[in-house]
Structure 1
Amino acid sequence: MANSNALANGLAGASAGIVAQIITYPLQTVNTRQQTERLDKKKKKPPPSSTLSQILQVLRIEGLGGLYSGLKPSLLGTAASQGVYYYFYQVFKNKAEAIAIARKLKGRGDGTVGMLSWLVVAAIAGTFNVLLTNPIWVLVTRMQTHTQAERNIIARKKLALLRDASESNSGGPTLQEQLAALDSLKPRPYGTLHAAHEVYKEAGIFGFWKGIIPTLIMVCNPSIQFMIYESSLKKLKARRSANKQSSNVTALEVFLLGALAKLGATVTTYPLLVVKSRLQAKQEIGENKSLRYSGTVDAIVKMLRHEGIPSFYKGMSTKIVQSVFAASLLFMVKEEVVKAYIVLGQRSKKYLPKLNT
């Protein structure tokens, strides 16, 4: 029964994750580009643009496909991540609840799982998820930031042409013609296999686990999220039971509790997310070697030195909107799918004996 419950939650989590991912993916694409854009604090910074203006800019230059670049591996990653996470989360949640009940029978505790236990359960499930699915998210980040990297490469070529403009150029195209040729260039097609080949060529098999250290540390994000969610849900049900009301919660209440939980987790762990994205993106996004990173510590040191503390919070407002909305949808859809699974299971038990007679 426990394994069936874990399987139901795994399938529900995967289904809910896909729905939330499709709806909020444009925000995720823009947010990844915001996180990975390198700006030297010694240079004049362009005025910040709103998330909406950035979405419109991508639509104008790259079309709708630009906002959904990397969607296919992202959907695979979401289904795998949510399925793996919720499966292991439910497995260890069942064990934690069994331990709590056993402790109550021995006269210790009230039979409920405490906050620390929720944190441990979520952290273990998150670790399994990260180790198994990190390669997919490396490819997604590459595909989301491919156009950004290509534009930076073209910009550097333009600067090189302008620096060499004083040299003799007889017999060849004029400077204006060369600049016009660069302006006419469009980003090359960049599919999943191309991204995978590029990652392997750059760093071998270990390239697919780039950013694994901050990602593992970020396991505390869902831990914090689920601690807030489960604790809030527990208090809500207890309050209703005390008032002799039904302990069932509505889809809207689950949505709001999910939003609150994700908001707290996102604000706490956002700097790690920025470091992870920068490590997984194509390093050509950096204008020079001082803005390219060889590892987690190198990224943190260079970000502090060249861009300052604000670089760790780039695009956080976009991420809050995207992640809170996605998490709220995920919790709401997941709970409804689990309810439907339970109802179908109860009906099948009711009608199967009749069919066998």
Structure 2
Amino acid sequence: EFGSRSFRSRGKCDCHDSVFPLDTARLRLQVDENRKAKSSHAILAEIVKEEGLLAPYRGWFPVICSLCCSNFVYFYCFHSLKAVSLKGKQSAPSTDLLIGIAAGVINVLVTTPLWVVNTRLKLQGSKFRNADIRPTNYSGILDAFVQIIRDEGVGALWNGTFPSLLLVLNPGIQFMIYESLKRHLRRGVPRELSSIEVFIIGAIAKAIATTVTYPLQTIQSILRFGQFNESTDNSRLLTSLRTIKCLLVNRVRKSGMLGLFKGLEAKLLQTVLTAALMFLLYEKIASCTFRVMGMSPHHYKKH
């Protein structure tokens, strides 16, 4: 229970892992419909050849700023909501999961403008295969904010908010699969899983959660990039739903179902190994903590 609570609170942080060149490859494949899907190293080789050696690291500073702000907002909200809701009472995994989702929602609403600017700056100066993509000229983070507000309106800073809110569920899917696989391996017999077992099921859980939600991540990137025809409707929710549906249908028509998963290889390489190592670390920390607290290994295994 200790491990589940502490690690669930980390769920949101993994959404923006920054293994930077892999993230660059993923983003190019998501927003540039005409770029052919290839292996990650082939995409990165193309980018380096066409745009220079430092191109895969373009926009690193906005990403660092966004990550710092996002993590601060998430953890501050998580612990504040937990303190207010529990008022000294003992927590439960389900409570922590709900608080984690609430903190994730607040985080999305507060930090989406940063991620919109981040996406624009990462893609600025790219050699796109799609000739319809308009070039941008931002001199930095503040200039990007000013130009977006001036040319597209304040609301453009929250492009991609709806899919981002849905993606808050990603850690929940990940933990559901992880706990199910862990119970299956134990098969009713309380035992501590080996390091290799934890590593493997952690990787499997993250891979499935990432694959299931990846089309939403693709739509999120396209919306943040801002170069799409937005429908006009009195209802923001209906507009968001129709825009997502339109983008999904158009991508499938042009590239087939696999078009929704362009860049998935880079995303899996970026996140799965990290998640597997974090699950392994979390199990080891939980086990050591119970021992330090004087609890028997059997008590830990029951959790």
**TM-score of the aligned structures, taking structure 1 as reference length:** 0.60
Provide the C-alpha distance between the structure 2 equivalents of 1:330 and 1:312, rounded to a whole number of angstroms: 28
Of 16, 23, 26, 1:28 maps to: 23
Provide the C-alpha distance between the structure 2 equivalents of 1:237 and 1:118, rounded to a whole number of angstroms: 24
Q: RMSD of aligned C-alpha atoms? A: 4.4
AA aligned opposite 1:274: T
Q: Is residue 50 from structure 1 mapped to residue 42 from structure 2 by the alignment?
A: no
State whether residues 25 and 43 of structure 2, in contact with CA within 8 Å, keep that contact through their aligned partners in structure 1: yes
Q: How far 1:208 sits from its partner (Å)?
A: 1.7
Give the 3 Å change call, closer, same or farther, for CA 187–329 of structure 1 in structure 2.
farther
Structure 2: give runs of 5+ residues left out of the alignment.
232-238, 294-303
Of 157, 168, 177, 1:208 maps to: 157
Provide the C-alpha distance between the structure 1 equivalents of 2:66 and 2:184, rounded to a whole number of angstroms: 33
Q: How far 1:89 sits from its partner (Å)?
A: 5.2
Provide the C-alpha distance between the structure 1 equivalents of 2:155 and 2:125, rounded to a whole number of angstroms: 24
Instruction: State, as a whole percentage, how many aligned pairs show the same letter.
Output: 28
**TM-score of the aligned structures, taking structure 2 as reference length:** 0.68
Q: Match for residue 292 of structure 1?
A: 229
Q: Match for residue 271 of structure 2?
A: 323
State whether residues 211 and 277 of structure 1, in contact with CA within 8 Å, keep that contact through their aligned partners in structure 2: yes
1:273-331 deviation line (CA, Å, top 9, x unaligned): 11111111041xxxxxxx53455323432541465252322222222222213434555
Give the 3 Å change call, closer, same or farther, for CA 126–225 of structure 1 in structure 2.
farther
State whether residues 142 and 281 of structure 1, in contact with CA within 8 Å, keep that contact through their aligned partners in structure 2: yes
Q: Is residue 135 from structure 1 mapped to residue 113 from structure 2 by the alignment?
A: yes
Give the 3 Å change call, closer, same or farther, for CA 188–326 of structure 1 in structure 2.
farther
Give the 3 Å change call, closer, same or farther, for CA 303–234 of structure 1 in structure 2.
closer
Provide the C-alpha distance between the structure 1 equivalents of 2:145 and 2:265, rounded to a whole number of angstroms: 30
Q: Match for residue 124 of structure 1?
A: 102
Provide the C-alpha distance between the structure 1 equivalents of 2:151 and 2:62, rounded to a whole number of angstroms: 20
Provide the C-alpha distance between the structure 2 equivalents of 1:337 and 1:203, rounded to a whole number of angstroms: 48
Provide the C-alpha distance between the structure 2 equivalents of 1:129 and 1:255, rounded to a whole number of angstroms: 29
1:76-128 deviation line (CA, Å, top 9, x unaligned): 22233334445555665995x9365xxxxxxxxxxxx46xx665344223212
Q: Match for residue 205 of structure 2?
A: 261
Of 41, 62, 65, 2:51 maps to: 62
Provide the C-alpha distance between the structure 2 equivalents of 1:312 and 1:322, rounded to a whole number of angstroms: 18
User: Which stretch shifts more, 295-304 or 66-75?
Assistant: 295-304
Q: Match for residue 223 of structure 1?
A: 172
1:317-351 deviation line (CA, Å, top 9, x unaligned): 222222213434555677889999x8xxx9xxxxx
Give the 3 Å change call, closer, same or farther, for CA 29–337 of structure 1 in structure 2.
farther
AA aligned opposite 1:292: N
SS of the aligned residue for 1:80 comes to helix
Q: How far 1:146 sits from its partner (Å)?
A: 1.8
Q: Is residue 312 from structure 1 mapped to residue 221 from structure 2 by the alignment?
A: no
1:162-201 deviation line (CA, Å, top 9, x unaligned): xxxxxxxxxxxxxxxxxxxxxxxx9857432232223222
Q: Match for residue 246 of structure 2?
A: 301
AA aligned opposite 1:77: S
